Amino acid sequence: MLITCPYCGPRDVIEFTYQGDGNRERPQPVSQDLDAWNAYVYDRLNPAGDHNEIWQHSGGCRAHLRVVRNTVTHEILSTAFARGGHKSAGHRTEGKP
Amino acid sequence: MSSRRTETGGRIDRLRTIRFTFDGAPYTGHAGDTLASALLASGVTLFGRSFKYHRPRGLLAAGVEEPNALVTVLRGDVREPNIPATMVEIYDGLVAVSQNRSPSLAWDISALNQLGGKVLSAGFYYKTFMGPVIGPLKGTRFWMFCEHFIRRAAGLGRAGTAPDTSRYERMNAFCDVLVVGSGPAGLMAAKAAADQGARVILAELEARFGGSANWSGETIDDAPAADWAGRLVGQLEGNDNVRLLPRTTVWGYYDGNTLAALERVTDHKEVAARGEPRQRYWAIRAGTVVLATGSFERPLVFPGNDRPGVMLAHAAERYANEYAVLPGERTVVFTNNDSAYRSAVALKKAGAAVVAIVDVRSDVSSEMSRLASEADAELLAGHAVVATEGGKALTGLKVQRFDLTSGALSGDERSIHADCLAMSGGWSPTIHLASQAGARAEWDPGRQAFLPPQPTQRWIGAGAFTGSFSTAEAIAEGRAAGLQAAGGTASLAPLPVVEAVPGDPDPAPVFEIKAKGKSFVDFQHDVTAEDVRLAHREGFVSVEHLKRYTTLGMATDQGKSSNVPGLAIMAEALGKPIPEVGTTRFRPPYTAVSIGSLAAERFGDLKPERLTPMHDWHIENGATMYSAGLWYRPMIYGLAGETVEQAYVREAKATRESAGIVDVSTLGKIAVQGPDAAEFLDRVYTNMFSTLAVGKARYGLMLREDGLAFDDGTTWRLGEQDFLMTTTTANAGKVMQHLEYFLDVIWPELKVTVTSVTDEWAGAAIGGPKARAILAACVKGTAVDNAALPFMGIVHGEIASVPVMICRLSFSGEMAFEVYSGAGYGTRVWEALIEAGKPFGLVTYGLEALGTMRIEKGHVTGAEIDGRTTARDLHLDWMLSKKKPFIGSAMMDREGLIASDRLQLVGLVSLDNRPFNGGAHVVEELDEANPHGSIGHITACCYSPALGKYIALALVKGGKARHGTRAFVSDPLRNRFGPIEIVSNHFYDPDGSRMHG
Ligand SMILES: [Zn+2]
């Protein structure tokens, strides 16, 4: 699996650390809504298909990336800095050569 | 044993004779021989004993799919078992032994297993090894006892115990086009792609490039196919864009067009050249893959089809044409398709008598009849082989009339004298890699075979792999695939002209001849057609269950030859068409892969060593080092004759009496800088940092999002926007990642940067009643008295002309200071402190004394912040700010996290004056015979010189309420039981008067 880091280019997955489901939304810090906190801390989407994920380029520039990955084919559809800014389309593996 | 080597022909070097041994007996062969061909040439027919029944077995195949002739190759004491003899190239001095026989291959006691065939039928593992559930042996280990013997009898090669001293290498490779397989299709693909300028890797699992061209006997462009292939290989060798990898098996197809391959670099050599590894693991990232992996011929399933001398038709042809060996003198061919007729002609040409061609089809084309005449063979159309005869070699066989549609046999059995039976049950494309890469294979009723699925990754198929079995098709498809893979346009140039024996690629749909006797489907796992039907009768209907229950296709060959016949028999038993039964998906590896090649250079002690700047000083001054994560830290500075306990007791005592110094460079250090740094720390720590004055430090606690304790340490405010955070040694990396995650993902609006500076600073902690006097004696540029340097104050100065930063904080409980300098000057500052401390009785102390003093003080470390404890459990609730939210604040008060019976930090005192062990349990009532009722466990323990007792820290249920009560330590593993008193974790100087001074 290759993940295209907007800084570093396409790099092997071995350089990255998975940092979880990217769909979670952290409640406001002052929120006392325990259900919302529970959902944020414990609930994870687990789709068979396209999934928004957070990956850190821990063996590289250490930026966190938002990665759209197909969990069935491991195809990387897009990557972008989690902080926003520069986006990069992942290299697409075509179904047919 | 007579020589079966033909006078001429073959792709062996007759001028080079090679000597080797098999089962201790000397043999010779020629360069270019495999172990299989050389032994066959020497008249060897018996190569191994079968898995369960110990039946004699000979060669079935000539290539990687060989299920029977597995051998162990010995190099010194190192043994590599289960290698097909067909894949072992002979070299001078090769030592190979047969497997699964005792005491010898020819005379095997366990062959008696054949008589117990019923016991060892389908599912015998499950039926036998579940053990008696009723009767006198119920619940005993009787079945384990039996298993020991059955497993020894039923098995393949034995792995060695000697360490493998070979070197293995890992290579990462990148190419535009990876071509797998070097038959006519693969060679054409590689050539076409290379001519387009593409970077090409051509991998061939055998020693010779060319595949079927080496033995087909066909003519390409007016030259023998083998010469044509040789010419193409020569052209590829001369091209800088092309890397040729012989003896390289592509065994895994992973996502992102990443493929794994194993190159056997020196397995075929007597002595490896200097620097050569034994094997090389290739991780190849390919733009496009051309799969030209060919096809496997299938055996027919009939009684006695495993007798030595019964082999695949193409294998017999290949031994004759490529290795100049006749598998037999009187050969019978048994087939359900046209391809075996070419084999018959080839064997005849090579000098064998082809006695008969037995074809299950009654309608045989005139072309095939003509080929039968050319082979001088009697054509028995509409017949089938129903039995074979012979012991360690075939002596004859029986045929009967066969009806293709009903499968019925009729008429009298006719005996034919023969020493070789060449069979063909049709061909199965080698679709393993395509299957690994994605979708399901599709059944083709014409070819009676699974054809490769539609690509889900970037690969293109060519040749027999796609079901196009003729060489002319392979050449055309290969060139087209190579061009397409390299992004070229279709070529109009004429294709090489092939002269080949004609034939219909579609076989008759016959897989099994049902007659009396054991008919093998999976030769390597001894699975018979009857086993498959038995499994069906016992209720197994799913192909995956059938496979596991019968172990069909689960041996080391992974059913390369047996898959389709096995599936066909299952389908018939289920009364379903084959495509509805489906096939199992192939998984990596395609063939056995050595563990050594996967590890490559990554074995032994490969972890990096992290050494503090003062490391050499510690070694020179008698420290015993201790590995803590990647770090090496002094454990004790032992004196001659001292035990570890004596050393740390002396070091701790001296520190509390005068002064001690310890290397704390390993603490994690993170620079937290920026306009929002203080705000960020307020969110990260449970306590306030925005209120911290510049030039002061504060102890901080972090929680995880779920409210459990995460890490602790002091953070120093060096400037308005400049903090130096310290973390525990073990958690430095985790804390860094935690901070980065929140800054990047959760709070990108905060203007803060975090930088790991652990390695930039050397740190020494000096503590004890004399610590301040020692500092005063060597620090220049600052005062260190209470006014200038109060508790948790920071000053800047110089020691030995080196700028230092000093913070007055204490882990030992004494008045103590942490002295930080640039890492490069760590030893200089350390030595200056040691020198200044001499008149004051300063000692160096290690981790043991550090741990002892922290236990005496009741400070927590990773042993207590173990991912299950909360701030309250550790009596750190005073650090939980109520004025602000922080990470974990919303979750930390959940019901289960504030329950009164949670494990809480306490101190323990040994009442029998004996040492404790970490991990020992605490119980209310002692029951040494039946230990139970744990109310907690010990996290850290030591002998306390300050108290003169053995003490421990422990996590105990409702611990705080138990102060002053008695309990017991229960440690059955180490047989340590005894009375204890539960006390506060603050054993020593609980009000902190010593460190505040
Ligand atoms: Zn990067």
> What's the CA gap between B209 and A91, in Å, rounded?
34
CA B248 to chain centre: 19
In terms of CA atoms, which chain A residue is nearest residue B254?
A: A1
Confidence grade of residue A31 (pLDDT, cut at 50, 70, 90)? very high
Provide the CATH number for the domain formed by A2-27+35-81 in this structure. Answer: 3.30.2270.10
Is the pLDDT score of B819 beyond 80? yes
Q: Evaluate if residue B840 carries a pLDDT over 80.
A: yes
The yes-or-no verdict on residue B857 having pLDDT over 50 is: yes
Q: Do B741 and A64 touch (CB under 8 A)?
A: yes
What is the pTM assigned to this prediction? 0.83
> Nearest Cα to B774, choosing from B844, B691, B718, B863?
B844
Residues of B with Cβ-Cβ distance to A81 under 8 angstroms: 744
Residue B378 half-sphere exposure, CB side, CA atoms within 13 Å?
10
Ranges of beta strands (E only) in A1-97 are 2-5, 9-12, 17-21, 50-56, 64-70, 76-81, 87-89
Q: B179, B744, B747: best mutation site toward chain A, by most A Cβ within 10 Å?
A: B744
Predicted local distance difference test score (pLDDT) of residue B107: 66
* Nearest chain B residue (CA) to A61: B740
Q: Ligand 1: distance of its center to the CA of A63 in Å?
A: 6
CB contact under 8 A, A83 and B741: no
Mutate to test the interface with B, among A43, A83, A92 (most CBs of B within 10 A): A83
Q: What value does the mean pLDDT take over residues A53-71?
A: 96
Q: How far is the CA of A61 from the centre of ligand 1 (A)?
A: 4
Position B507 pLDDT exceeds 60: yes
Task: Note the pLDDT tens digit of each residue in B643-668.
Answer: 999 999 999 999 999 999 999 999 99
B392-407 confidence digits (pLDDT tens): 899 999 999 999 999 9
pLDDT tens-digit readout, B216-255: 999 999 999 999 999 999 999 999 999 999 999 999 999 8
Topology of domain B168-295+429-486, CATH: FAD/NAD(P)-binding domain (3.50.50)
Calpha distance B159→B24 (Å, rounded): 19
A2/B256 CB distance under 8 A: yes
CB neighbour list of residue B543: distance below 8 Å, 6 or more residues apart: B567, B570, B581, B582, B583, B584
Nearest to B890 among A32, A62, A94 (CB): A32
Shortest Cα distance from A1 to chain B (angstroms)?
5
pLDDT of residue B311: 98
Cα A64 to ligand 1 centroid, rounded to whole Å = 8
pLDDT beyond 60 at B270: yes
What are the residue ranges of CATH 2.40.30.110 in chain B? 900-996
8 Å CB contact between B96 and B39: no
Give the residue from chain A lying closest to B749, CA to CA.
A83
pLDDT at A50 over 80: yes
CATH 3.30.1390.10 is held by the domain B668-758: no
Please tell me the class of the B518-596 domain.
Answer: mainly alpha
Map residue B904 onto helix, strand or coil. Answer: strand
**Mean pLDDT, rounded, for B607-635:** 95
Mutate to test the interface with A, among B174, B176, B255 (most CBs of A within 10 A): B255
Show the tokens assigned to B568.
Answer: 């066909």
Cβ atoms of B293 and B465 closer than 8 Å: yes
**Sign, Cα dihedral of B911, B914, B917, B918:** positive
Cβ(B490)–Cβ(B465) under 8 Å? no
* Cβ pair B458:A17 closer than 8 A: no
Q: Do B255 and A73 touch (CB under 8 A)?
A: yes
pLDDT at position B138? 55
Q: What are the pLDDT digits (tens) for B429-440? A: 999 999 999 878
Per-residue pLDDT of B510-523, as tens digits, reads 999 999 999 999 99
The rounded distance, in Å, linking the Cα atoms of B432 and B181 is 13
In this predicted structure, what is the pLDDT of residue B732? 96
Mean pLDDT of all residues belonging to chain B: 93
Contact status, residue B782 vs residue B796, Cβ threshold 8 Å: yes
Alpha-carbon dihedral sign for residues B705, B710, B714, B719: negative
pLDDT of residue A97 exceeding 80: no
Mean per-residue pLDDT for B322-348? Answer: 97
Give the mean model confidence (pLDDT) for residues A1-22: 93
Is B174 a residue whose pLDDT tops 60? yes
Q: For position B274, what pLDDT does the model report? A: 92
Of the candidates B455, B683, B746, which has its C-beta nearest A97's C-beta? B455
Give CATH 3.10.20.440 domain extents, chain B: 1-163
Q: Is the pLDDT of residue B123 over 70?
A: no
Does residue B126 register a pLDDT over 80?
no
Are B705 and A83 an interchain contact pair (Cβ–Cβ within 8 Å)?
no
Check whether B762 has a pLDDT greater than 90: yes
Q: Is the pLDDT of residue A96 over 50?
A: no
DSSP-derived letter for residue B814 is S
Confidence of residue A93 (pLDDT cuts 50, 70, 90): very low
Least confident of A79-83, B88-92, B368-372, B615-619: A79-83
Per-residue pLDDT of B945-987, as tens digits, reads 999 999 999 999 999 999 999 999 999 999 999 999 999 999 9
pLDDT exceeds cutoff 90 at B898:
yes
- Selected for mutation to probe chain B from A13, A23, A62 (highest B CB count within 10 Å) is A62
Nearest residue in chain B measured CA to CA from A33: B890
Tell me what pLDDT residue B117 has.
52
Contacts of B732 in chain A (CB under 8 A): none
Q: Class of the B900-996 domain?
A: mainly beta
Q: From chain A, pick out residues whose CB is under 8 angstroms from the CB of B706.
A: 41-42
DSSP string, B310-324: EEEHHHHHHHHHHH-
Among B256, B683, B741, whose Cβ lies nearest the Cβ of A19? B741
The pLDDT of residue B584 = 73
Average pLDDT over residues B561-580: 89
pLDDT of residue A91: 45
Q: Do B737 and A75 touch (CB under 8 A)?
A: no
| Proportion of chain A above pLDDT 70, given as a percent | 87
Dump pLDDT digits (tens) for B735-755.
999 999 999 999 999 999 999
What pLDDT was estimated at residue B104?
Answer: 73
The CA A89 to ligand 1 mean position distance, Å, reads 14
Q: What number does CATH give the domain B300-425?
A: 3.50.50.60
- Residue B478's pLDDT is what? 98
Residue B178, min C-alpha distance to chain A (Å):
14
For B1-163, CATH number out of 3.10.20.440, 3.90.1200.10, 3.40.50.300, 3.40.47.10 equals 3.10.20.440
